[in-house]
Structure 1
Amino acid sequence: MSKDFDAQKEALMKEVRSVLNEVETLYESSVDNGTDQAKALKAKVQDQLARAKSQLRDMESTVVDKAKQTAARTDELVHDQPYYAMGVAALAGLAVGVLLSSSCRR
């Protein structure tokens, strides 16, 4: 399960990086000739792109760290109280079953 999460996370991050790179390429290939207003807009876009990349890197590391911490806490809880975990899973299954059966009747 952890490998699936890591693979999905990596695929998503790769896609986001790809989009940012395409935006950066589009920005760099745009015509440099233009009005002062257009040049100011390009500078603003460049600053925002740099900030977005920085925030993406920060967010990626934060999300990965929090996911690992949550997974470790959950694993610890399940090992410490297996019957509690089974009860919660059974109740969740029952709730989903009731919701699905009532939606199928309609």
Structure 2
Amino acid sequence: MADFDAQKKDLMREVRSVLDEVEDLYEKAGDNGSDQAKALKDQLRKKLGNTKSKLSELESTIADKARATAERTDELVREQPYYAMGIAAAAGFIAGILLGRCRG
């Protein structure tokens, strides 16, 4: 989970950096010649490409972790079905009590 948090922070830092550079690039692009504007747009394109790549990696990591969690949950339910049913029944009972108190 720490690895996921570190990736999330890196991605957010990268997104902020790209947004800051976008502002700078557009401000400079209007004032400079066309060759410089093309170079600035190329820099922006590279930064956006890197950010999209990092976002894609993060999405893949999230999907993998969700899949692994679902598989493990399925294994636990199959290994101990009565335990899972007991937890579900207890959760339903507690939710019923809480809802009954709210209405009463």
Question: Superposition pairs for residues 67-78 of structure 1, below 5 Å?
Answer: 67-78=66-77
Shift of 1:31: 9.2
Question: Which residue of structure 1 aligns with residue 98 of structure 2?
Answer: 99
Unaligned runs of at least 5 residues, structure 2: 1-21
- Deviation, 1:100, is 1.5
TM-score by length of 2: 0.54
Instruction: Please state if 1:87 is matched with 2:86.
Output: yes
Partner of 1:34: 30
Query: CA, structure 1 residues 80+44, in 2 after alignment: closer, same or farther (shift >3 Å)?
Result: same
**Which structure 1 residue ranges, 5 or more long, are not aligned?**
1-26
Cα deviation, 1:34-72, whole Å, max 9, x if unaligned, reads 236xx7x97886565334312220111111111111111
Residue type at the aligned position of 1:49: L
Identity %: 47
Matched residues in 2 for 1:92 and 1:59: separation?
Answer: 33
Q: Give the aligned CA root-mean-square deviation in angstroms.
A: 3.2
Aligned residues: 74
Shift of 1:82: 0.6
Q: Which one-letter code corresponds to 1:84 in the other structure? A: Y
Whose RCO is larger (CA < 8 A, sep 6+)? Answer: 2
The 4+ residue runs of structure 1 with deviation greater than 2 A are 30-33, 41-52
Task: Tell me the CA shift for residue 33 of structure 1.
Answer: 4.4
Corresponding residue of 1:62 = 61
Compare CA radii of gyration and give the structure with the larger one. Answer: 2
